[in-house]
Structure 1
Amino acid sequence: MTQDRVDSPRASRLSHFSRDSAREQDDASFPVVPEQNFHVRRITLIALLVVAVVLPFAYVAAMAFTDLRSREADATDMTLRTVRVAEEHALKVFDMNEALNSRIVDLTEGLDDDGIRACEPTIHDKLRTMGGGYPQVAAVSIFGLEGALLASSRFYPVPVLSIGERADFVGIRDGNELEHVSKVMNGHVAGEQVFNMGVERKAADGSFAGVVSIALRPGYFDAFYRELLGGSNDTPMVMSLVRTDGAVLAHYPSGPRGPAELTPASPFAEAVAQGRRAGVVRMRSNLASGNLIVAFRHVGSYPVYVLCGYRTSAIWSAWYRHLSVLILSMFTPSIALWCVIWLSLRRLGAEEEAWERWQAEASMRRSVESAYRQSRKMEALGTLVGSVAHDFNNLLMILSANVQIVRRRGVGGVDRELSAMERALKSGQSLTRQLLGVARKQPLRTETLSLERWLPTCRELLRASLGAKVSLVIDSGVDTWPVRVDAAELELALINVAVNARDAMTNGGRFTVRASNVVFRHEDGFPLTGEFVQLSLEDTGAGMAPDVLARAFEPLFTTKSKGMGTGLGLPQVFAFCESSGGLAAIDSAIGAGTSVRLYLPRASAEPQSASPVEAGAQESDAPQGLRVLLVEDNQEVAAGTEALLQMMGHQVTCVFNADMALRLLDDARAKRADTGEPLPFDLVLSDIHMPGKLNGIDLAEAVLAFDTRLPVILVTGYAEELDRARHVNVRVLSKPFDIGLLEKLLEGIQHDLAPTDIDPATHPADS
């Protein structure tokens, strides 16, 4: 198998234009591009890339640093404001407790332990009245010289209870100011977790006589801190009420109740040791399980501090979220810009290498634009042709049917007139076929051909088209690949090119037909890629001028004298190649002849050998005529076809649209289901394009769905309808069809039907 490869310079010439005319149009359509300084462009792109990388990073770093400092400052400011409010609240509570303690001391002034026990009922009522109105107060108690409980707001009479060994009692007795506010403990009197605020009770001689203690609920402070921080458990802030030794009196968010202390070596402990009454420190809290920004304030003259902390983890979390948004919003376009610059650098090298091939690329672009314009012209022509083709084919069908009727009736003395009408019919059919082919609406009957065997069979046909003055050379090649095309359209294309070649060689010449295999690659610059068979049609005629060459494939364009050409020959060639999946190209120059090349794609299947036709094996059987349901909307076409079918010995029932035909068939099927009678038709012969809801293809699909076998033959003049009809798997005739071909199809259907399929009672005897 031989393969010819087409190089890029040669491929660039395979277009509708000659090289000279293409170059002229290049100059007219595309401005001259000045030379580029690739070195300067590369340096510029590198500098731009550096700036595009550095600036976003610098901006994000600066913004991130500023945002972090701003968030820390906001957190510090919030803790300072909050701790000031908490400090004022704690000061009011402790001052109120101090005043309450003073009132109780005044109440018991001059009474020793026995005296208090003697007045216990009165003292109990007063203690209950004084302490019961405050939610923070759990109990108010009076303890004696040895720590024994003398009176309480919670109990009467009081149980036997002593706090003589408790740290706050011992501390107050010994003058330790710190113990005036005790640690959190489980209060024996209050019956809940409390911390006590006590004062010394003195005897008449000024000696220590006992303690007055007010038990405060830590939960009261927890609730206040919760409201102060917004009432949410997931707040980033924490609040604490702490003694100067680090013992925690109240804390929010609250954890497990019990004695808790801050780390002795914490920055807060150092600040307390330095005597600082207020400030801000950073520390790790064992209560908050993390690092905090802590603002603290000393509560009046009491050994208590209020602390407000802001979790740095919350600051970092919010900062990370903002930073993520900043990075996403900043680096998404930046990455796109980096990619663009990087790709620009890569493309710059390729552009530098491809600079000298720019003209070839521009030429290819013009070729594509020209092909697009050609396709638009073909589309416009197809719209025009498609609108009249159906009616024109019907007119030809009317004329053809009536000519056949006259011939079959054996009318004498009109043979010459009938022959003239038949010649006119063939001319009309040929003209319609050319118009439909150019408009890409000609129904194609594709088959796999071996040009090696097929071309020699066209020799006589081409000789007749070329005339006696032109010699014919056919080189079908060796091991030429098969192609899948419409053989009739390929034959018509050869004839069209041959007729043009004959007219270009008025004094004689040589017409060469040569077939060869070619392979196009993408880098060849050809509009097609893959394996093709190149069919070269070359003449030695006068050639074409550039302006004529540019319009060679344009429909209805011709340089021949009026009445000598239609301008449809070369457009038919172009349309045929394109509809076959290939391309037609033409090269020509004045005095150098013309070369038309058809590129047809290689077929995947091998051509099939024609099987011998069995010669009339059933002729002696003489089958009976068929019952035909004719569906045709044109009354004259229907009348002519009906008359011909009747002359062939068939019964014909004619309806004028598919809707009526389907109702007729449905009624027959219903009757068959009730009575068992067979369908009254053996065949449906229908046009495709008809008025109504259904067309012929819809009717065929419905008929093929019947449980009874009923052959269908469709008739159309549109390629689109023909393609769909073939998918339905029915016999299809393209208008205008040969009456003899229809007769052969009917004979085949008669032979295919079994004798029992035809009801003798409903069929006439053969004539």
Structure 2
Amino acid sequence: MKSDRFDPPQASRLSADRQDEALFPAVPEQNFQVRRITLIALLIAAIVLPCVYVAAMAFNDLRNREADATDMTLRTVRVAEEHALKVFDMNETLDARVVDLTEGLDDDGIRAREAVIHEKLRVMGGGYPQVAAVSIFGRDGDLLASSRYLPSPAISIGTRDDFTGIRDGKDLEHVSKVMTGHVAGEQVFNMGVERPDANGTFAGMVSVALRPSYFEAFYRELIGADGSMTMSLVRMDGSILAHYPRKPGEPTAMAPQSPFADAVAQGRRAGVLRMRSNAGGEDLIVAFRHVGSYPVYVLCGYRTSAIWAAWYQHLAVLLLSMFTPSIALWCVIWLSLRRLGAEEEAWERWQAEASMRRSIESAYRQSRKMEALGTLVGSVAHDFNNLLMILSTNVQIVRRRGATGLDRELSAMERALKSGESLTRQLLGVARKQPLRNETLSLERWLPASRELLRASLGAKVSLVIDIGSEVWPMRVDVAELELALINIAVNARDAMPNGGRFTVRATNLHFRHEDGFPLTGDFVQLALEDTGGGMAPDVLAHAFEPLFTTKPKGMGTGLGLPQVFAFCERSGGLAAIDSAVGAGTSVRLYLPRATAAPEADGAAEPPADESSTPLGLRILLVEDNDEVAAGTEALLQMMGHQVTCVFNADTALHLFDDARARLAESGAPLPFDLVLSDIHMPGKMNGIDLAEAVRTFDSKLPVILVTGYAEELDRARHVNVRVLSKPFDIGLLEKLLRDIQHALAQSGANPETHSAS
């Protein structure tokens, strides 16, 4: 919808812009969404980054711990392998010395020299803590001599695996399984070698019994007692020779199907394995090494549970050290988000309050403009109304005199009069000096009846849609002003839709409360008028309600349409508002107060007066300061058959009534007038209302008709209880009023004939 616009001088616009900047300084725009996204991004980063860091550190720490555990097992198993190799090599040397000691002796020879051999065996084996006993066995496995006993007990190992294995040439059995030794009397495993005779055949066996506890004590010192590592001395077939830490009920051999068994089967001499212990069911990182050429491996295991326990402990410290400040940071960001929400809410409230203040300030400045404009327009309109009155009365005089051949010219003058009356009405409406005749109006009945008027204003290209809500409240408005407001808006909508469009009229009920922040409170009817035109730019929208402001081409708009709408709503106790955007159309909303009384029912038409029974003319006192208006009105009244006495101000008219009151006191003569027809604004001490009040003191029943163009005088005039006509008034309406007064005088018993004779 195009708004009426008048382009002011450039200097005036600059001055107004500076004034607006002074009243409403620019406030930096607050982009709360960007700040909220930034804080949320920081919060996510403060959560994700520490988590990623902790995960990376934890993973790296676990890998390092596993690598450290593997490295420790490798170093430890190497030490244990060197130790076992030294022990086994020493045993090998000891076996060789015993073999040399018995060289050339058969079983009987050894028995014969048992005491000497016993002493030598005791000396050779007694110096080593790992050696439990040194024994010599015969061809059949009988004990011939021992470092532990003298004489040797009758013991035979002929069926023992290590004896039969050495006899049969099995290398594995050179190191036996753990057993309770027949000679040593304790848990031992034996390292035996063949004792050959002079022919090189098997003549018996020399065996050195080794204590597993010796190895276990060494392992305890090597790996410590923290329980994270294990050490084992194992035969190639998986039999466990020594193990630390040892628990009761542990198996004596490793599982035949295990990674270690596979490694032995593959011939690997060293390596690292991950396997589950069949003793405690724990997962281990196991490093193993083959001890020299002996059928024995040394194994060092590291419990993964110990790795995980240490890792968990370090992770707890890491989490505590990392997330304690992170949680504090999260709380700060969360509080910042809450504060941002509160700040945004406060900003919106401030914006609403600032907008309301701007609206109030703008309305105040608009009101001041209207007041200044009203003073100017009121004076101009009053004089213009007088000119229209002169033209109107003289046209009626010509009509009544029956001039022929002038119908076309008189009709043109009457159309010009109508346009002039409409323009004057708009000027007075904008200046808030147009008298309002408020009445209770039902939109449900009135709007459909105004459809044709709106269609004519919109033109053929624009479609009209009327949507009235159910049970819309009645309004208290001036129907003529409302009609003019709708026409002004419809014309603007038509100009905004040159190629056609849709114009929608909607009516709904609204209730405003003080806390809603709306300038109005109470019950109102919202009359929304929407078009689908091009809309208004913000700079145009800001001045839409200003008088004489128009965007239409020169000669196409007066700049009084929307200001009349605004002034009408404000004077009716309501408000007018516009929503518009370029390309989105325009919506003008009129908020008009709800009427407390029900709308008046349409009364039956009064029967036409009987012209044959019309009484004679009235005696009229015409009070008018404009000579030409007075002359035209007087001539027209006389043509109607009335007697007219014309004076030019209220003071002179009051002197006539003073003289009449003096005659009334002397002779009882009645008042010389049946009606007073007076302008309100006149030179002198008194105006028309003062005159009406004074006349009522003489005769309270004497009719008085006042003529004015100013709305502020209506309330006082109504208190005087007189009829008021707005300039320029309709001659037909005046004629009807005079006829009603004539009938009233006739019914009251007065005789107009006597009046006219006098």
TM-score, structure 1 as length reference: 0.54
Query: In the TM superposition, what whole-angstrom CA distance separates every residue of 1:181-237 from its partner, at most 9, and x where no partner exists?
Result: xxxxxxxxxxxxxxxxxxxxxxxxxxxxxxxxxxxxxxxxxxxxxxxxxxxxxxxxx
Report the CA distance between 1:663 and its aligned residue. 1.0
Match of 2:572 among 563, 570, 580: 580
Residue 705 of structure 1 aligns to a residue whose secondary structure is helix
Query: In the TM superposition, what whole-angstrom CA distance separates every residue of 1:615-653 from its partner, at most 9, and x where no partner exists?
Result: 125544221110111111111100000000000000011
Report the CA distance between 1:568 and its aligned residue. 0.5
Alignment of 1:29 with 2:21, yes or no, is no
Report the CA distance between 1:352 and its aligned residue. 10
Aligned to 1:425: 417
Aligned to 2:540: 548
- 2:623–2:677 contact (8 Å) kept in structure 1: yes
Match of 1:449 among 433, 441, 448: 441
Aligned to 2:621: 629
Match of 2:738 among 743, 746, 749: 746
Separation in 2, partners of 1:707, 1:384: 38
Aligned to 1:680: 672
Aligned to 2:120: none
Match of 1:467 among 459, 465, 468: 459
Identity %: 81
- 1:625–1:764 contact (8 Å) kept in structure 2: no
Residue 691 of structure 1 aligns to a residue whose secondary structure is coil
- 2:623–2:678 contact (8 Å) kept in structure 1: yes
| Amino acid aligned to 1:760 | E
Aligned to 2:642: 650
Aligned to 1:363: 355
| Amino acid aligned to 2:599 | P
Separation in 2, partners of 1:34, 1:518: 32
Query: In the TM superposition, what whole-angstrom CA distance separates every residue of 1:701-755 from its partner, at most 9, and x where no partner exists?
Result: 1111224631111101111122221121101101000111100000000001136
- 1:645–1:651 contact (8 Å) kept in structure 2: yes
Alignment of 1:387 with 2:379, yes or no, is yes
Report the CA distance between 1:435 and its aligned residue. 0.5
Pair 1:500–1:700, CA change in 2 (3 A):
same
Residue 621 of structure 2 aligns to a residue whose secondary structure is strand
Separation in 1, partners of 2:558, 2:473: 34
Separation in 2, partners of 1:380, 1:759: 48
Separation in 2, partners of 1:736, 1:478: 39
Aligned to 1:613: 605
Aligned to 1:407: 399
Query: In the TM superposition, what whole-angstrom CA distance separates every residue of 1:667-724 from its partner, at most 9, and x where no partner exists?
Result: 1122122212222211111111011111110110111122463111110111112222
Alignment of 1:493 with 2:489, yes or no, is no
Aligned to 2:307: none
Match of 2:753 among 732, 751, 760: 760
1:96-115 pair list within 5 angstroms = none
- 2:466–2:505 contact (8 Å) kept in structure 1: yes
Aligned to 1:713: 705
Pair 1:613–1:670, CA change in 2 (3 A):
farther
- 1:624–1:764 contact (8 Å) kept in structure 2: no
Pair 1:34–1:494, CA change in 2 (3 A):
closer
| Amino acid aligned to 2:667 | T
Separation in 1, partners of 2:569, 2:348: 33
Aligned to 1:436: 428
Aligned to 1:561: 553
Q: Which runs of 4+ in 1 moved over 6 A?
A: 24-28, 350-353
Match of 1:532 among 524, 530, 535: 524
Residue 536 of structure 1 aligns to a residue whose secondary structure is strand
Aligned to 1:202: none
- 1:26–1:363 contact (8 Å) kept in structure 2: no
Pair 1:402–1:522, CA change in 2 (3 A):
same
Alignment of 1:520 with 2:512, yes or no, is yes
- 2:674–2:702 contact (8 Å) kept in structure 1: yes
Aligned length: 430
- 1:396–1:428 contact (8 Å) kept in structure 2: yes
Report the CA distance between 1:26 and its aligned residue. 12
Separation in 1, partners of 2:671, 2:722: 19
Separation in 2, partners of 1:27, 1:666: 58
1:151-170 pair list within 5 angstroms = none
Pair 1:707–1:370, CA change in 2 (3 A):
closer
Residue 754 of structure 1 aligns to a residue whose secondary structure is helix
Query: In the TM superposition, what whole-angstrom CA distance separates every residue of 1:106-162 from its partner, at most 9, and x where no partner exists?
Result: xxxxxxxxxxxxxxxxxxxxxxxxxxxxxxxxxxxxxxxxxxxxxxxxxxxxxxxxx
Query: In the TM superposition, what whole-angstrom CA distance separates every residue of 1:42-101 from its partner, at most 9, and x where no partner exists?
Result: xxxxxxxxxxxxxxxxxxxxxxxxxxxxxxxxxxxxxxxxxxxxxxxxxxxxxxxxxxxx
Pair 1:758–1:599, CA change in 2 (3 A):
same
Match of 1:724 among 694, 716, 720: 716
Report the CA distance between 1:351 and its aligned residue. 9.4
Residue 582 of structure 2 aligns to a residue whose secondary structure is coil
Report the CA distance between 1:390 and its aligned residue. 1.3
| Amino acid aligned to 1:476 | I
- 1:26–1:362 contact (8 Å) kept in structure 2: no
| Amino acid aligned to 1:574 | F
- 1:688–1:697 contact (8 Å) kept in structure 2: yes
Pair 1:473–1:31, CA change in 2 (3 A):
closer
Aligned to 1:94: none
Query: In the TM superposition, what whole-angstrom CA distance separates every residue of 1:326-368 from its partner, at most 9, and x where no partner exists?
Result: xxxxxxxxxxxxxxxxxxxxxxxx9997455222222222222
Residue 450 of structure 2 aligns to a residue whose secondary structure is helix
Greater Cα radius of gyration, structure 1 or 2: 2
Pair 1:533–1:678, CA change in 2 (3 A):
same
Report the CA distance between 1:757 and its aligned residue. 1.5
| Amino acid aligned to 1:757 | A
Residue 597 of structure 1 aligns to a residue whose secondary structure is strand
Separation in 1, partners of 2:633, 2:659: 25
Report the CA distance between 1:27 and its aligned residue. 12
Report the CA distance between 1:507 and its aligned residue. 0.6
Alignment of 1:398 with 2:390, yes or no, is yes
| Amino acid aligned to 1:400 | S
- 1:618–1:751 contact (8 Å) kept in structure 2: no
| Amino acid aligned to 2:713 | E
Query: In the TM superposition, what whole-angstrom CA distance separates every residue of 1:556-607 from its partner, at most 9, and x where no partner exists?
Result: 0001011100010000000000000100000001111000000001111111
Pair 1:413–1:613, CA change in 2 (3 A):
same
Separation in 2, partners of 1:452, 1:410: 44
Match of 1:590 among 582, 587, 604: 582
Aligned to 1:507: 499
- 2:615–2:752 contact (8 Å) kept in structure 1: no
Separation in 2, partners of 1:412, 1:391: 31
Aligned to 2:156: none
Separation in 2, partners of 1:539, 1:25: 32
Aligned to 1:736: 728
Residue 724 of structure 2 aligns to a residue whose secondary structure is strand
Residue 630 of structure 1 aligns to a residue whose secondary structure is strand
Report the CA distance between 1:33 and its aligned residue. 10
| Amino acid aligned to 1:589 | A
Residue 380 of structure 2 aligns to a residue whose secondary structure is helix
Separation in 1, partners of 2:347, 2:626: 64
Report the CA distance between 1:461 and its aligned residue. 0.2
